[in-house]
Structure 1
Amino acid sequence: MPQENGAQKRATATAEPVREYQRLRSPEVMKVVERVADYQITAMAAGLNPIKTGEGYPNPKGWVQAALFIGLTELADRSANLRYKQLILQRGEANQWKLAARKYFADDQAIGQSYLWASRNGAGEVAASEVKAEFDAILSKPSTVALEFTGHREGTGFEALGCQSRWCWSDALFMAPPAWFELSRQTGDPKYAEFAKKEFWAATEYLFDNSENLYFRDSRFFERRDAAGRKVFWSRGVGWAFAGLARMIDRLPEGDADRARMIVLFQRMAGKLKAIQKSDGYWAPSLLANGPNTPAESSGTGFYTYGLAWGISRGFLDRGTYEASARKGWAALLRAVHPDGKLGYVQPVSDRPDEVSYDDTQLYGVGAFLLAGTAIAEL
């Protein structure tokens, strides 16, 4: 069989096969979700590095792997295959249930979400103990630095991290707050949730653009414009925040005033995201630069598909208004899956819109895909 060239692959990924927007049965969805998960698990076991630059394999406690394991928790909740639960438990044991080194850095807290899941699914209190200890240490000496974006120096304390000792970039809203809310839910102590609410609203007041209903990635982008004069909203950066909101709302009790505010914010974002989705089902790497010739990108699209499907299932989004958008996103994601289960079109590690190809993959993109697929399966 002749091999597709790059242009043919891109055409396949960005075509608009209307039939794929029709409802798929849950088992059909879960079958492809497990195929993508299984490819990534096997690739990890083999040491197949998604980074082609010669750098080391992603840190087993760091955010790149954490995003994958967060997706795996949703798959483990729904799959009859126990390997996903076993993998999460074994990773936690191998990590000794410790977070990564920089306790104040949201990215280094993300793996704690899988530990807290494990504590409710067979690992017991030991799985949550290190998360609690680290969060207690933060509460004893919280960072109060300004949210203007700065780089960080060598070191693990908030003095070295600068603004990144708080949630001054949109990615942080996925990485950290759900763990804080979940810890309050598990311990019954509201102090973790109260801290997360305060920091979340501070970040939102600073980063959220009320005219566009989207989050800037960080303060460096407030005045940045592309060649056509458009604001720059990075797809994955906004996706982190949108998916993070869903995971926060799920961990707050009904009747909580902040939960109600978060739902309104989520709905505002959903309306904007529906309006700017491309006709091929993807969202563009730079969200407002969404012309027909912009590249496919699967990590941001995964987070939006997840959020829209989740919102419909929870009753926060109207099915008649949003279901087609969610299913278009899922159809686009299916076209990014290679025959062997590898997920393509994942923009490499970055903090802004960039080039992406059919062969680009990353663990966090698979995490977004697992979130999307498990949510679509419940529609």
Structure 2
Amino acid sequence: MNRRRLLTGGAALTAAATLLPTTRAAAAPAPALPSRAEVVRVLRRVADHWITAHQDPGDNGWANATFFSGLLTLHRLTGTPRYLAYAREWAEKHAYGLKGGGTTRHADNHNAGQAYLDLYAIEPEERKLAAIEESLHRMVYTDQPEKNDDWWWDDALHMGMPPFARLGVLRGDPAYRAKLYSLYDHTKRIEGGPGLYDPATGLWYRDKRFLPGGILSPSGKPVVWSRGNGWVTGGHTKTLKALPPGEPHTAEYRETLTRLVRALARVQRTDGFWNVNLADPDHLPGPETSGTSFFLYGTAYALRARLVDRAAHLPVVSRAWQGLVTTAVHPDGFLGYVQKVGDRPESSQPVTYDSTADFGVGAFLLGGTELARLLG
């Protein structure tokens, strides 16, 4: 049976009917776009607050690694020495290693490799890539290279796609990009039976428990987790930034991100945020920063890459930024309304003005820097 068609039956069509007609934000006038200088000022304030509050740069797990991905992106934009020094201190503390060591297959553990690749690009030294390259090389060549079911949850696309893409390009080895696609294809079309991607909506389920027939919201609607789709958005965006346009699967990654960004525009709230459950606005309603920041990141990139219509999607990024800076960013740079670690809308509730997390700050820095680049 064609796996692409398995989610186009009754439950998936119900999800599509729930999601796609929602256009509340489109009816409200969008705020004016900020200047690039305004955006950079806010990004510096948020980054500086986090660094000042965390003199120890922390562990090399997926959450903190997401922060450093955002911080190094801001460093590339601003050239601020403090940001590079803090990231270098973090990487040296962990000897550029991975949780689980060189034998790990877990995408969460590979996330630190993104920051190591960033640091290598600034100051090339092979030792910085030894751990991430050993781990990915084993998956590609020696450790069950036919096994492709490691990415069983959609967060893994953000953690795992970019290192495979970037290392494959850096080493000129197409086998890394082929392995990337095999892992991706399993997540998209095979995991749980039909795969985690819903072709009827362009959105993604977090894992197989939430597929049609599985976990529903209290009102009986699908659970399409905001940050899960945020991780997917970030993974596709970073991968497209890394791959050459003519790579065999670039067109599919581009088309998938485009559909996702268009779907997100239809369910954005009037205040610029997205709900924790994209399929049910009444399921724990309230602002949430991490998903919103990743959606800002992906939409701003899609605009820069001319994947989506400018007139239709500039209001999306202006609303998102306005919502984040007026609601989530405290005067001193503390970033609130971040849903902490979890796997669904109910996780780490309630989400409040004082809820924050390293990966949420990283997502905000990624989104803001991409907006700054869009603004010129």
- Classify the TM-score, shorter chain: 0.7 to 0.9
Q: Does 1:210 align with 2:211?
A: no
- Given residue 24 of structure 1, which amino acid in structure 2 is its aligned partner? P
Q: Deviations over 1:166-217 (max 9, x none)?
A: 0110110000110111101111112211111111111111110112211100
Q: Deviations over 1:247-268 (max 9, x none)?
A: 1111111122310111111111
Q: Does 1:221 align with 2:210?
A: yes
Q: Report the counterpart of residue 161 of structure 1 in structure 2.
A: none
Q: Deviations over 1:57-110 (max 9, x none)?
A: xx6110110110111121011013111122222221221111111611100110
Q: Does 1:193 align with 2:195?
A: no
- Given residue 208 of structure 2, which amino acid in structure 1 is its aligned partner? S
Bigger mean CA deviation after superposition, 26-35 or 95-104: 95-104
RMSD: 2.1
For the 8 Å contact 2:328–2:335, the answer to whether it is kept is yes
Structure 1 residues 46, 201: CA separation in 2 closer, same or farther (over 3 Å shift)? Answer: closer
- Given residue 260 of structure 1, which amino acid in structure 2 is its aligned partner? A
Structure 1 residues 74, 342: CA separation in 2 closer, same or farther (over 3 Å shift)? Answer: same
Q: Report the counterpart of residue 12 of structure 2 in structure 1.
A: none
Structure 1 residues 254, 192: CA separation in 2 closer, same or farther (over 3 Å shift)? Answer: same
For the 8 Å contact 2:302–2:308, the answer to whether it is kept is yes
Query: How far has the Cα of 1:228 moved from its partner?
Result: 2.1
Q: Report the counterpart of residue 86 of structure 2 in structure 1.
A: 87
Q: 1:45 aligns with which of 55, 58, 62?
A: 55
Q: Provide the C-alpha distance between the structure 1 equivalents of 2:71 and 2:276, rounded to a whole number of angstroms.
A: 25
Q: Provide the C-alpha distance between the structure 1 equivalents of 2:133 and 2:367, rounded to a whole number of angstroms.
A: 29
Bigger mean CA deviation after superposition, 364-373 or 123-132: 123-132
Q: Report the counterpart of residue 144 of structure 2 in structure 1.
A: 142
Residue 233 of structure 2 aligns to a residue whose secondary structure is helix
Q: Report the counterpart of residue 176 of structure 1 in structure 2.
A: 160
Q: Report the counterpart of residue 9 of structure 2 in structure 1.
A: none
- Given residue 265 of structure 1, which amino acid in structure 2 is its aligned partner? T
Q: Report the counterpart of residue 61 of structure 2 in structure 1.
A: 62
Q: Provide the C-alpha distance between the structure 1 equivalents of 2:328 and 2:69, rounded to a whole number of angstroms.
A: 21
Looking at both structures, which has the greater relative contact order when contacts are Cα pairs under 8 Å and sequence separation is at least 6? 2
Q: Provide the C-alpha distance between the structure 1 equivalents of 2:82 and 2:144, rounded to a whole number of angstroms.
A: 38
Q: Provide the C-alpha distance between the structure 1 equivalents of 2:264 and 2:50, rounded to a whole number of angstroms.
A: 28
Query: How far has the Cα of 1:310 moved from its partner?
Result: 1.0
Q: Report the counterpart of residue 347 of structure 1 in structure 2.
A: 339
Structure 1 stretches of at least 4 aligned residues deviating more than 4 Å after TM superposition: 143-147
For the 8 Å contact 1:278–1:291, the answer to whether it is kept is no
Q: Provide the C-alpha distance between the structure 2 equivalents of 1:371 and 1:195, rounded to a whole number of angstroms.
A: 26
For the 8 Å contact 2:111–2:160, the answer to whether it is kept is yes
Q: Provide the C-alpha distance between the structure 1 equivalents of 2:284 and 2:290, rounded to a whole number of angstroms.
A: 18
- Given residue 41 of structure 2, which amino acid in structure 1 is its aligned partner? K
Structure 1 residues 19, 278: CA separation in 2 closer, same or farther (over 3 Å shift)? Answer: closer
Q: Provide the C-alpha distance between the structure 1 equivalents of 2:29 and 2:251, rounded to a whole number of angstroms.
A: 36
Q: Report the counterpart of residue 109 of structure 1 in structure 2.
A: 110
- Given residue 365 of structure 1, which amino acid in structure 2 is its aligned partner? G
Q: Report the counterpart of residue 232 of structure 2 in structure 1.
A: 241
Q: Does 1:313 align with 2:308?
A: no
Q: Report the counterpart of residue 8 of structure 2 in structure 1.
A: none
Structure 1 residues 351, 138: CA separation in 2 closer, same or farther (over 3 Å shift)? Answer: same
Structure 1 residues 79, 20: CA separation in 2 closer, same or farther (over 3 Å shift)? Answer: farther
TM-score, with structure 1 as normaliser: 0.84
For the 8 Å contact 2:262–2:308, the answer to whether it is kept is no
Query: How far has the Cα of 1:336 moved from its partner?
Result: 0.3
Q: Provide the C-alpha distance between the structure 2 equivalents of 1:189 and 1:146, rounded to a whole number of angstroms.
A: 19
Q: Provide the C-alpha distance between the structure 2 equivalents of 1:325 and 1:346, rounded to a whole number of angstroms.
A: 20
In structure 2, list runs of 5 or more residues that go unmatched. 1-24, 190-194
Bigger mean CA deviation after superposition, 38-47 or 282-291: 38-47
Residue 361 of structure 1 aligns to a residue whose secondary structure is coil
For the 8 Å contact 2:30–2:315, the answer to whether it is kept is no
Residue 120 of structure 1 aligns to a residue whose secondary structure is helix
Q: Report the counterpart of residue 257 of structure 2 in structure 1.
A: 266
For the 8 Å contact 1:62–1:107, the answer to whether it is kept is yes
Residue 85 of structure 2 aligns to a residue whose secondary structure is helix
Q: Deviations over 1:14-53 (max 9, x none)?
A: x9xx898212111110010011011111111168xxxxxx
Residue 125 of structure 2 aligns to a residue whose secondary structure is coil
Query: How far has the Cα of 1:353 moved from its partner?
Result: 0.4
Query: How far has the Cα of 1:359 moved from its partner?
Result: 0.6
For the 8 Å contact 2:148–2:182, the answer to whether it is kept is no
For the 8 Å contact 1:119–1:126, the answer to whether it is kept is no
In structure 1, list runs of 5 or more residues that go unmatched. 1-14, 48-58, 148-165
Q: Provide the C-alpha distance between the structure 1 equivalents of 2:126 and 2:337, rounded to a whole number of angstroms.
A: 39
Residue 328 of structure 2 aligns to a residue whose secondary structure is coil
Q: Provide the C-alpha distance between the structure 1 equivalents of 2:311 and 2:370, rounded to a whole number of angstroms.
A: 17
Equivalent residues, number: 335
Q: Provide the C-alpha distance between the structure 1 equivalents of 2:146 and 2:279, rounded to a whole number of angstroms.
A: 33
Q: Does 1:361 align with 2:365?
A: no
Q: Provide the C-alpha distance between the structure 2 equivalents of 1:359 and 1:217, rounded to a whole number of angstroms.
A: 26
Q: Report the counterpart of residue 338 of structure 1 in structure 2.
A: 330
Residue 333 of structure 2 aligns to a residue whose secondary structure is coil
Q: Provide the C-alpha distance between the structure 1 equivalents of 2:129 and 2:343, rounded to a whole number of angstroms.
A: 30
Matches within 5 A, 1:265-304: 265-291=256-282, 294-304=285-295
For the 8 Å contact 2:218–2:283, the answer to whether it is kept is no
Query: How far has the Cα of 1:136 moved from its partner?
Result: 1.6
- Given residue 204 of structure 2, which amino acid in structure 1 is its aligned partner? Y
Q: Provide the C-alpha distance between the structure 2 equivalents of 1:169 and 1:346, rounded to a whole number of angstroms.
A: 20
